[in-house]
Chains A and B, each alone.
Chain A
Amino acid sequence: MSEITPESVRHLASLARIALSEDEIASLTTELGAIVDAVATVQQVAGDDVPATSHPIPLTGGMRVDEPGAPLTTVEALAGAPDSDGTRFRVTAILGEEQ
């Protein structure tokens, strides 16, 4: 059985920046436990002698010519932002009181 506990789900959620509800933490603990047990079967055949594959079609030299392109304008870049001052993205405090 996997080691997924409500505590570990709470920790993972904070790493992933998702403010899960207690109900979600409870259901995810059960679901993730079952999923992790199922996917752990990969360990049965992943021997030390097998190299890892990160990309299906290996490519090298995927660099393009270093030429100036047309970047987004400030207006375009800010167009989809929830809040801005017209020149920059605007957010709430970066640091909390405890920092």
Chain B
Amino acid sequence: MSAPELIHATAAELAHRLSAGEVSAVEVTQAHLDRIAAVDGDVHAFLHVSEQALDVAAQVDADRAAGDALPELAGVPVAIKDVLCTLDMPSTSGSKILEGWVPPYDATVVARLRAARMVPLGKTNMDEFAMGSSTEFSAYGPTKNPWDLTRIPGGSGGGSAAAVAAFEAPFALGSDTGGSIRQPGAVTGTVGVKPTYGGVSRYGAIALASSLDQVGPVSRTVLDAALLHDAIGGHDPRDATSIPDAWPSMAAAAREGLTGDALKGLRVGVVTDLDGEGFQPGVRQRFHETLEKLAAAGAEIVEVSAPHFQYAIAAYYLILPAEASSNLAKFDSVRFGMRVDVAGGTVEDVMAATREAGFGPEVKRRIILGTYALSAGYYDAYYGSAQKVRTLIQRDFDACFAQADVLVSPAAPTTAFTFGEKLDDPLAMYLNDVTTIPANLAGVPGMSLPMGLAPEDGLPTGLQIMAPARHDARLYQVGAAVEQLLESDWGGPLWAKAPQLG
């Protein structure tokens, strides 16, 4: 295969060619490193490119030559969001306060990538501590959207989404606390999945909001996301919130969706509360066209109502800051990360000066907000009320799933916006996650996949599919079928319409 063929191939195809001996892991890795060298100066998806990638790939090739039985994805390159701890690469979570920090352990999901013999390419850019929807809050400068370099790639995981959209990696790991996998997927024309809360280990993921955070796959196809999900998912005794259940193969579910009749008779619930004011006309147009296509393919479209979703953003911006203010207390200038010296100062003075210099504006905003929400006298009115809204949103989901097998909505209210457009208006920025936040509050799995280009600006739109908790396999089965249905209309994948880079 030529270098352009290698970088445009899916992970599933690369795995097949590698195991057949048609291409080596070193060739596949080199093609992606060359691509990174060629385009990442413009895209800035990576904060760090691995110096070990070629050695890791060469070891896979050597073991294959020696006749070892290797896992399915052995030799396939993968990018890793910088929120995840890696033994051999800095892990900054996009923050100045962790600049250059190399953790003394691997996140469980990273250890599982290594056990599956995948080749880590590097660490991807993100909003600082995953707080943001555009990567503009990264301490290391924003990532650019490969579809239009003047526009945001979504956030917080804009680096992983852009790396995949720009063919710098076939797939990547992300984390999703309120939409940080799915919203970047929507605006970059890629696939992203937030698994059921507890379905994938959070051990070694630098915590933002522990009751919302979930690690998941980012890719160009539904099957590739499923393959990566299978590699990283399942119970981890190191994460007390990890679900101990056995899980079905997500890849098998995706393959079933590509061959079977997944859409015939499927009850697709349209959440009417996520389809109205504030949504870009081209996003709504593509969404309603997609519903018509689903109906034509035999799905039963039912309208469902989730009356408390309108309070989701408010509840989220109380629960998240409260948990974040607690989680980020560990950046204390003592055990790891930066320290700002204060002449004659106590450890508390040093701590306060370090956190002032090391945290960016959005992180400070949310820590102060969270500290307020947890203050004596305000706790019941704010944090306590937000936790009650969480119950109401879970009940809304239960009622919706009583009428439908999956729920759908646009994955983001608009296409990619330009840099600076919402930077100084926190409330406008927070609205980007209006469609994705409910799934985090309820713990249910959600997927974003390409839904076509908006007619008014030619930029990608995304479809969100949600399933009941623990039914991630249903997402992959339905998602693969929807992807196939849409691509047959488009005459190929959406990414084929992306502009050339480099």
Contact = CB atoms under 8 A, between A and B. Distances in A.
Contacts, number: 192
B241 A89 contact: no
A55 B361 CA distance: 28
B104 interface: yes
Interface string B422-440: 0000110000000000001
A34 B427 CA distance: 8
Nearest to B211: A55
B66 interface: no
Interface string B327-341: 001001111111100
B469 A56 contact: yes
Contact of B355 (A17, A40, A63, A76): A17
B469 A57 contact: yes
Interface in A53-71: 53-57, 59, 62-65
Contacts of B391: 50-53
A79 B356 contact: no
B381 A57 contact: no
A28 B382 contact: no
A91 B334 contact: yes
Interface residues of A, number: 58
A44 interface: yes
A9 B197 contact: no
Given A42-B318, A56-B394, A31 B365 contact: yes
Contact of B368 (A13, A80, A92): A13
Contact of B241 (A8, A38, A62): A62
Interface string A1-34: 0001000110011111111110010001001101
Contact of B350 (A40, A53, A92): A92
B392 to A, nearest CB: 6
A19 B307 CA distance: 41
Interface string B357-389: 001010011011101100100000110111111
B390 A52 contact: yes
A64 B237 contact: yes
- Residue among A47, A52, A57 having the largest count of chain B Cβ atoms under 10 Å: A57
B334 A19 contact: no
Nearest to B101: A80
Nearest to B333: A82
Interface in B9-25: none
A95 B346 contact: yes
Given A56-B211, A72-B105, A39 B240 contact: no
Contacts of A13: 368
Interface string A80-99: 11110000010111111000
A94 B346 contact: yes
A30 to B, nearest CB: 11
B348 interface: yes
22 contacts: A8-B372, A9-B368, A12-B368, A12-B372, A15-B371, A16-B325, A18-B352, A18-B359, A19-B355, A20-B356, A21-B356, A41-B311, A42-B311, A43-B381, A45-B388, A52-B391, A56-B197, A57-B443, A63-B240, A77-B104, A79-B104, A80-B336
Interface of B: 101-105, 196-198, 211-212, 237-238, 240-244, 308, 311, 314-315, 317-318, 325, 329, 332-339, 342, 345-353, 355-356, 359, 361, 364-365, 367-369, 371-372, 375, 381-382, 384-392, 394, 426-427, 440-444, 469
The 8 tightest CB contacts between A and B, nearest first, are A56-B443, A82-B339, A46-B385, A80-B336, A52-B387, A46-B388, A19-B352, A62-B240
